[in-house]
Structure 1
């Protein structure tokens, strides 16, 4: 099924999100600013876009693997969630886990955005939960 994603460019240097290859899950997001992120620090980077997500969806903001591998730059709250009703500028929180300062340049691909469906569930308080094979085992309980 195909959905329409309305994008509004609100800055002269803004670019539409871009899918590098047909079938890719992520759309690349671009910086509209030049900024130095010092080693060990985080920065909020503007994209110069606003959007209207399709009903029943969210946008997940994820790191770019190349920036993570080559420069230790990642999205701090990964994946970041943009709710369907948000209409402000899309901004990305990048963190520099590297040992050197990193320069974000205008028009640089800084993150990727995946549009995903969101289930709307009815909350139901319960005194008992259905049993499962796993039960309460967690945090490495599978031996990995």
Structure 2
């Protein structure tokens, strides 16, 4: 099932992205140029795409799990946010977390774009927040198992 329409501008000879399988949430994005990453290095790469995220939605750019688990390549910021007003090329800052130098060829799928609706909130200043069972208990408050 396809939902909303999204305008896509192809740059640098990029191909239109697609969902790998019916029901997939993410569109695989490919890099337009070769990149070599030394261990611990970062590089910002272009995907050759500019998109028009529908109003009321946000584009979220996630790393590809196979690239991370097999080669230690992930996104340096974990998840990128593309607001509906942005019209520039989608970029991805890759991070090599492995002990080996890795070269990725142009056309390699490096991340995936998920478009989803969001709920804007009106911020209301207050003196107190309502109490909950959890309260202010934060990191690790539910244990490790």
TM-score for the superposition, normalised by structure 1: 0.96
State how many pairs are aligned: 143
The answer to whether 1:47 aligns with 2:27 is no
SS in 1 for 2:43: strand
Gap runs ≥5 in structure 1: none
Deviating above 4 A after TM superposition, structure 1's stretches of 4 or more consecutive aligned residues are none
Gap runs ≥5 in structure 2: none
In the alignment, the residues of structure 1 paired with residue 99 and residue 52 of structure 2 have an alpha-carbon distance, to the nearest angstrom, of 38
In the alignment, the residues of structure 2 paired with residue 125 and residue 62 of structure 1 have an alpha-carbon distance, to the nearest angstrom, of 33
In the alignment, the residues of structure 2 paired with residue 88 and residue 59 of structure 1 have an alpha-carbon distance, to the nearest angstrom, of 13
SS in 2 for 1:129: coil
**Root-mean-square deviation over aligned CA pairs:** 1.0
TM-score for the superposition, normalised by structure 2: 0.95
In the alignment, the residues of structure 2 paired with residue 136 and residue 15 of structure 1 have an alpha-carbon distance, to the nearest angstrom, of 48
In the alignment, the residues of structure 1 paired with residue 56 and residue 133 of structure 2 have an alpha-carbon distance, to the nearest angstrom, of 31
Q: Deviations over 1:105-131 (max 9, x none)?
A: 111101011111121111111101011
In the alignment, the residues of structure 2 paired with residue 5 and residue 132 of structure 1 have an alpha-carbon distance, to the nearest angstrom, of 40
